Structure 1
Amino acid sequence: MSPERLLLTSIHDVGPRSETQVDRLRDHLAAHVPVEKIAMLVVPDHWGEAPLKAGTPFAARLRDWADAGAEMFVHGWYHRDTSAHESFAARMKAKHMTASEGEFLGLDEETAYQRMTQGRALIEDIIGRPVAGFIAPAWLYGPGAHAAMARAGFAMAEDHWRVWQPGAVERPLASGPVITWASRSKPRIASSLFAAWALPTVLRWKKVARVAVHPGDTGVPALLESIGATLRRMTRSHRPGRYAELL
């Protein structure tokens, strides 16, 4: 393990509807990464069916996790894409890169800004501290989302290939593909298992490497086994740390 190389680990889609799976993922990751260094991406109202509310038992757990050191990111609002995409490229991303969950890919600036800032206010009120940043569902951003982030003043954002500081001029913080897994279909499971096997070799000499897991991973034993194996490999070359160390 090199002290100069940083491993960032995150759990996506954290919210009341995924509480059981998040608990399982935290326990699974904690065998390899200190639990206080596992970032959490919080969805304020997953698919409009699971609103995060102050004063609830889950909100109390979220604050306890933050108090223990977990970085909290705003992860969209609904995590659901309802936009009518105008460009061919956006339609292809929306169709093939995610199961209708790229919420911020087609939003205009004002709608994106409203959802970002309301999500931040809700989560910060619950955890009693600033959020670490904003990460769009499915790591997909449209022009409106980029413009909104520049206005909102988030400390950082990330997608599949990079981490950056939003602003009128975006400041790069890290680059390289994130290692993640897909559980929606057998072909996606197979391709993500292959990627998780291959990418640690590619990322071994990168200054920053990222691993991201999702609640759906807990339903596929092969994915859980791959997650553990990947973290065992990555922690040989990279020190588990926090996103804030990039700033």
Structure 2
Amino acid sequence: MRNSDSTKPRRRLLASIHDVSPLFEAAVDRLFDRLQGHLGSARFAMLVVPDFWDQAPLSRAPGFRARLRGWADDGVEMFVHGWNHRDDQVHSGRWASFKARRMTAREGEFLGLDAAEARRRMREGRAIIEEAIGRPVAGFIAPAWLYGEGARRALAEENFALAEDHLRVWRPSDGAILSRGPVITWASRSRARRASSIGFAGLARTLLRPIPVVRLAVHPGDAGCPTLMASIDRTVAAFSAGREPARYRDLMGT
């Protein structure tokens, strides 16, 4: 017996702009315009860094704070995206060291923090962003999607509604997984990374078509690379056909 339309999983597209900071305002503007042009609304997320690499404190950028509030008023979900997005830890353990070296360029800020320091950064970042946008944040997403054990404990204790990593979206309060599937993202650091991310996006446009929820993430560095932007355009267009642009909170039925 076939499922009725009412019992089929909703087909959704979750798009997000990472590393939102006064340091990258022009690039964020370009990415915002590009996503809004494809999706027809501001139904996507922004991941805000309170002080990117200790070079751009949001607390001292009243103009950018006002823009964040305006975007939030228009429907953009705002996430806390670490504190400074920089990993200054010395990692012990082969797996943690591998992730710190190979999966990011010293940007896995929450990979090596203990729970107390992770809580402090989460709380202070949340306070700054919520003061700017005038409402609760949607959740917390670690820089480079990398969490150590301390960060995972702090997440649950800080009562963030949502979190995500490379492969899933979950509810930190009880660990409930709300969506599974790899996030599609692009890398601008080197020619090899650009080529591999474009290749993965091309495969994903076919291989991920059956899954109910597709996630796309773009970064300020993408905005300066025409080949990456062309790949982003193709990928957003491919997945927005037949899917509703959604917000993360839609995964919780709210």
Q: Could you tell me the TM-score, scaled by structure 2's length?
A: 0.94
Supply the distance in 1 between the matched residues of 2:41 and 2:222 (Cα, whole angstroms).
18
| RMSD (Å) for aligned C-alpha atoms | 1.2
> Equivalent of 1:177, from 171, 182, 197?
182
1:225 counterpart = 2:230: yes
Is the partner of 1:41 in helix, strand or coil? strand
Unaligned stretches of 5+ residues in structure 2:
1-7
| Deviation, structure 1 residue 34 | 3.1
User: Percent identity at matched positions?
Assistant: 56
1:61 counterpart = 2:67: yes
Unaligned stretches of 5+ residues in structure 1:
none
> Equivalent of 1:210, from 181, 203, 215?
215
Aligned to 2:196: 191
Q: Is the 8 A contact 1:204 1:237 kept in 2?
A: no
Aligned to 1:161: 167
Q: Output aligned runs, 1:1-247, within 5 Å.
A: 4-53=10-59, 56-167=62-173, 169-247=174-252
Q: Aligned letter for 2:136?
A: P
Supply the distance in 1 between the matched residues of 2:200 and 2:47 (Cα, whole angstroms).
22
* 4+ long deviations beyond 6 Å: none
Q: What is the total number of aligned residue pairs between the two structures? A: 245
| Deviation, structure 1 residue 182 | 0.1
CA deviation profile, 1:34-62 (whole Å, cap 9, x unmatched): 34212000000000010001671111111
Q: Could you tell me the TM-score, scaled by structure 1's length?
A: 0.97
| Deviation, structure 1 residue 33 | 1.2
Q: Aligned letter for 1:183?
A: S
Q: Is the 8 A contact 1:26 1:35 kept in 2?
A: no
| Deviation, structure 1 residue 7 | 0.4
Supply the distance in 1 between the matched residues of 2:198 and 2:241 (Cα, whole angstroms).
20
| Deviation, structure 1 residue 237 | 3.5
Supply the distance in 2 between the matched residues of 1:160 and 1:7 (Cα, whole angstroms).
15
Is the partner of 2:47 in helix, strand or coil? strand
Supply the distance in 2 between the matched residues of 1:150 and 1:97 (Cα, whole angstroms).
24
